[in-house]
Amino acid sequence: MNSEDIGYLPATEMVAMIAAKDISPVEVNDAVLERIETVQPKLNPFITICADEARVAAKAAEAAVMAGDDLGPLHGVPFTVKDLVNTAGVRTTYGSHALEDNIPEHDALSVARLKAAGGIMVGKTTTPEFGHKPMTEAPLFGRTLNPWNQDRTSGGSSGGAGVAAAAGLGPLHVGTDGGGSIRIPAAACGIVGMKQTLGRVPHDGTPDSFALMSFIGPMTRTVADCALMLDVMSGPHPSDVHSLGRETPDLIGAAAADGDLSGLRIGCRTFLGNEVIDTETRNLFDGAMPAFSDAGGTLIASDGPFTPTLPFWAPLTYSMWAARFGGYADQLGDKMSETLRYWINEAQGVSGVAVQDAMAVRTRIFREVEAWFDDVDLVIMPTITRPALPVDHDPREAIEIEGKSVDVPRAAWYPYTHPFNLTGHPAITVPSGWTADGMPVGLQIVGPWLADDLVLRAAACFERLRPWADRRPDIG
């Protein structure tokens, strides 16, 4: 097995092979590090590569296998962490010159749990500065390119993680999602990305747990790996008020290959506050929907009420950026991303009354979405309205769909993602197909509050009928 094949090996298979001594943790991690060394100059998915630390951990993992020790569910498996998530002893820059030498003393809880399960961190993946936009680029490190077409964006803000998964740089990747930042790059790069129910994975890195809209979640190539990773990271913790009292359902069992959707009502929704979708993207979405009925579900048009969320997501998010990062803007000047400085400045016009109004509307939208599930068990919609945008697109400018200018990306490219950051509902994106010019797009499965296992089951059934994991980009 060569380094590319090892790099694309799912974690579920990797764990079994390591336990059976068919492959060693050292061999696995050396192969992934070799892949990273090859791909990094071409696509730029990493800010920091932890080669020395990973090799030390891999040798210790191999010794444990040979000694017959009890092995964790991720023993010897390499994983990456988006550079918005703290990692002990490894710099965490947030993609900003302000923190380029920041070395945390402690791992974020999600990272600590992955390590405790036997996972081995091989690097920190790229993010736009403080995760502020859907293209992964920053003055600190440059641009991260889409592996399917290097003239296109990788999406963002977890673009480095999306590229690492798509390019076979190991099976497990930690992303974050404050408005679609896991699901956008997952759809743009042709992989799986999940934003779980609010509180399922405790977020111990946020200064405000009560008004949280940001999530730490898995990005993988297969649904089974997504479930395995989410299961390891899940569980209550005193740092996150939303996690307390939560029991983790059988996420791994939900993603098992023998499940079906018998008896489930599957809602289908093509638009969500938008009016335009690329024809080829829509055809791929429409062509994918019969797989859910083939798996036993009953397809139903879903047209429950919905209040467009961008007018309320924006004041909540921009004011948060101004409060958290405004001091860095004054400190860095032109060394901060111009777009982030622009939106921090926009926040100066957001009043406290506007923020309170947006918080109240957030509750109303939650109730609207939860009411969808009185009539259906799941709702399926596109993840993005067209394939990845040009790599140099300004996120403040209107996008084009079939040669026509429509609206800015938040309104016209991914209107389907930020609503569920506001409501906290579980949502997973999986590839719905590839366009004629070889670009992936995704569909999103949304479930009721706490129904992460049901969302994973539907995704696994779809994957079994419309598999994608064997498809690899030609990186050159």
Q: Where in the sequence numbering do the catalytic residues fall? A: 82, 157, 181
Joined tokens for residue 372: 């969808």
What per-residue string of b and e applies to 295-319 under the rule 16 or more CB within 10 Å gives b?
bebeeeebebebeebbebbbbbbbb
Calculate the alpha carbon distances from 14 to 57, 287, 383, 447, 472 in Å.
16, 33, 29, 30, 18
Distance CA 342, CA 404 (A): 26
Q: What is the number of other CB atoms lying within 10 angstroms of the CB of residue 52?
A: 9
Sequence-distant (6+) residues with CB within 8 A of 34 are: 3
Would you say 366 and 422 are in contact if contact means Cβ atoms under 8 Å apart? Answer: yes
Bin 368: left if φ > 0, else alpha if -120 < ψ < 50, else beta.
alpha
Sequence-distant (6+) residues with CB within 8 A of 147 are: 43, 154, 163, 166, 167, 189, 473, 475
Distance CA 114, CA 68 (A): 21
Q: What is the number of other CB atoms lying within 10 angstroms of the CB of residue 250?
A: 12
Calculate the alpha carbon distances from 119 to 7, 71, 184, 257, 300 in Å.
15, 11, 25, 24, 41
298-301, strands of its sheet edge to edge: 46-49, 120-125, 78-82, 172-177, 215-220, 192-195, 427-434, 440-446, 378-382, 265-268, 298-301
Contacts 24+ apart (CB under 8 A), 277-280: 277/382, 277/385, 277/386, 277/401, 278/385, 278/386, 278/387, 278/401, 278/402, 279/402, 280/435, 280/436
- Cα 15 to chain center, whole Å? 22
